[in-house]
Amino acid sequence: MNWPELRYQDLKDTVATVHLWTQIVGKIRLVKMPWLNHSWHVTLYVSPTGLTTGSIPYDGGLFQIDFDFVSHQLTITSSAAPKQQMRLYQRSVASFYKELLEKLAIMNINVEIYARPNEIPVAIPFAEDETHFIYEPEQINLFWQALVKAEAVFTLFRAKFYGKCSPVHFFWGGFDLAVTRFSGREAPKHPGGAPNMSLEVMQEAYSHEVSSCGFWPGSDSFPHPSFYSYCYPTPNNFKDQPVMPEQAQYNEAIGEFILTYDDVRKAADPESSLLQFLQSTYDAAANTGKWPRKALECDLSGLEP
């Protein structure tokens, strides 16, 4: 599979709808899972056909919800009930929310979520949202293909760290794929600031020093699918550190190093170009933050099974 071409203007309306659909599914996982540090219990994961919750415990055993962006359907699978499916098509958030709750009820999976979106400025209740309904199958399939390519490189990057590190996972709040390394030291209290997100959740998410990188589809203010990297807390000289490849730049408005997806896609070796970005921006964070790097880093690639 080649790195697909992504155009923000073509992608954005479908992303706006699917973003809200993933919030509904993610909130179901949230209420059924025990709370894990840094909200790791809420995330989705890239799958061979789309995005998945993975196994979720409930009274009847385990269930799982899968977005399939190849056949364009959502599947709910349970260890205790026949699976249920929904078509993914041009339908409103309210329609999606109503049918998903009906399917769960048929399977005797009882859930009650906070039925408004998080981390977006206008939080229309899911049951009332007839505004977002665009679903273009080819656009979401292209975005999923890009997630697959990014997932493989992020997984390789994650493997070179002994210290605490997150899974490679998809945050439905920001609609981004991310992986985060930790220094092991506590961080100053985070000031918060994300729309429709509690201060307590953000402070727990950033309770310890992090270097985080990810992939994001862009926004109206920055209309470019991009890879990003930031650290918290942010040393004053972090933004001045040399990073690779040469197209990578520190974006003052966003407060992160940015490498556009298109720069990666067009590189002679996209995987190596992205790895350079991930490693050099981590180096910038670890060096300026004076992380104990010898105790945290590793390379186990030479080990025999």
pLDDT digits (tens, 9 = 90+) for 163-210: 999 999 999 999 999 999 999 999 999 999 899 999 999 999 999 999
Would you state the structure tokens that stand for residue 142, as one six-digit string? 């292209």
Are residues 123 and 235 both part of a single domain? no
Q: DSSP H helical segments within 33-83, as ranges?
A: none
301 or 111, which is more confident? 111
Together in a domain, 168 and 205: yes
Domain that holds residue 71: 8-128
Whether residue 202 is found in the same domain as residue 119: no
**What is the β-pairing status of strands 56-58 and 208-216?**
unpaired
Of the pLDDT bands very low, low, confident and very high (cuts 50, 70, 90), residue 304 is low
In this structure, is residue 304 part of a structural domain?
A: no
pLDDT > 80? residue 305: no
In terms of DSSP H, where are the helices of 123-260? Answer: 137-158, 199-205
Q: Is the pLDDT of residue 19 over 90?
A: yes
Asked if the structure places residue 114 within a domain, the reply is: yes
- How many angstroms separate the CA atoms of 203 and 37, rounded? 11
Residues 207 and 292 in one domain: yes
Judgement on whether residues 113 and 141 belong to the same structural domain of the protein: no
- Return mean pLDDT, the chain: 97
Q: Indicate if 175 and 221 belong to the same structural domain.
A: yes
107 domain residue, yes or no: yes
In a domain, 2, yes or no: no
pLDDT band at 1 (very low <50, low <70, confident <90, very high): confident
Phi, psi dihedral angles at 264 (to 5 degrees): -70, -50
Least Cα distance to 157 among 209, 212, 207 occurs for: 212
Cα separation, 165 vs 148, in Å, equals: 20
Question: Domain ends where: 83, 99, 128?
Answer: 128
In a domain, 253, yes or no: yes
81 in the same domain as 105: yes
CA distances from 17 to 108, 186, 268 (A): 27, 37, 34
Q: Residue 192: inside a domain, yes or no?
A: yes
